């Protein structure tokens, strides 16, 4: 599994702490972590939580990443932004039990975390433990296990609703301010990471045209 980490501007100073906690857990699973920044508040590319959603959608729909970890001050804005796009199911994860139950019940492909609210002593431990529970088992198995069948049925219904209601990604992106979209792709390592891992030709062509 390839996990992408994305930080927005208000919490960019914590990128190193978040990355270290995530990579520590990912390494035990044999997963890769691609850090898309922001890496510090002084980065030339400043991402808003809305742009986190744009970047996450491009990474997941192009299969440049299998999972996205992101957040903002409370996690709420980032969660809403990611869920505004097709192909993304993002949960708000504040603690280990959130991580476990979101993975088992909702079987999503992204999480948003609060990197300011409640981020005090032991914050790095909470991050590590939440990542451990999030990736502890194959997702979508149900919790509690006796609820697996109705939960999996509801997930399929939700997938159908989202497919009906949300347009394809490139149509969505072209309907936005193109400078907003381009700004989401301006990170220091975006081109290096994305072009190496993108598996969707149409999204690749769109991104190249936007950055040309």
What tens digit of pLDDT does each residue of 99-149 get?
Answer: 999 999 999 999 999 999 999 999 999 999 999 999 999 999 999 999 999
What is the per-residue pLDDT for 105?
A: 98
Ordered by start, the domain boundaries in the chain are: 2-211
Q: What angle do CA 106, 112, 115 make, to 5 degrees?
A: 145
What is the per-residue pLDDT for 98?
A: 98
Q: How far from 46 is each of 16, 39, 198, CA to CA, in Å? A: 16, 10, 23
**Directed axis angle between helix 49-61 and helix 201-211, to 10°?**
140
196: DSSP letter? H
Helix locations, the chain, DSSP H: 15-29, 49-61, 76-82, 96-101, 123-134, 148-165, 169-174, 178-184, 190-197, 201-211
What is the per-residue pLDDT for 212?
A: 93
Whole-number Å distance between alpha carbons of 81 and 88: 10
* Domain topology for 2-211: Ribose 5-phosphate Isomerase B; Chain: A, (3.40.1400)
Whole-number Å distance between alpha carbons of 24 and 13: 19
Strand 67-72 to 32-35 pairing: unpaired
Q: What angle do CA 125, 19, 98 make, to 5 degrees?
A: 50
Digit-by-digit pLDDT tens for the chain (212 residues) are 999 999 999 999 999 999 999 999 999 999 999 999 999 999 999 999 999 999 999 999 999 999 999 999 999 999 999 999 999 999 999 999 999 999 999 999 999 999 999 999 999 999 999 999 999 999 999 999 999 999 999 999 999 999 999 999 999 999 999 999 999 999 999 999 999 999 999 999 999 999 99
């Amino acid at each position: 599994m390839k996990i992408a980490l994305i930080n927005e501007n208000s919490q960019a100073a914590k990128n190193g702490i978040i990355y270290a906690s995530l990579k520590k857990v990912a390494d035990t699973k044999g997963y890769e972590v691609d850090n898309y920044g922001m890496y510090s508040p002084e980065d030339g590319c400043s991402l808003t939580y809305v742009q986190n959603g744009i970047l996450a959608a491009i990474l997941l729909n192009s299969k440049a990443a299998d999972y996205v970890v992101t957040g903002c001050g409370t996690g709420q804005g980032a969660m809403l932004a990611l869920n505004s796009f097709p192909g993304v199911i993002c949960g708000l994860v504040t603690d280990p039990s959130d991580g476990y139950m979101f993975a088992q019940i909702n079987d999503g492909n992204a999480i948003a975390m609060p990197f300011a609210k409640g981020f005090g002593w032991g914050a790095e431990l909470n991050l590590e433990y939440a990542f451990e529970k999030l990736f502890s088992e194959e997702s979508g198995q149900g919790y509690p296990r006796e609820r697996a069948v109705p939960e999996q049925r509801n997930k399929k219904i939700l997938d159908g609703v989202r497919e009906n209601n949300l347009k394809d990604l490139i149509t969505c992106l072209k309907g936005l301010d193109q400078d907003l979209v381009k700004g989401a792709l301006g990170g220091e390592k975006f081109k290096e990471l994305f072009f190496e891992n993108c598996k969707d030709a149409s999204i690749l062509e769109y991104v190249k045209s936007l950055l040309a």
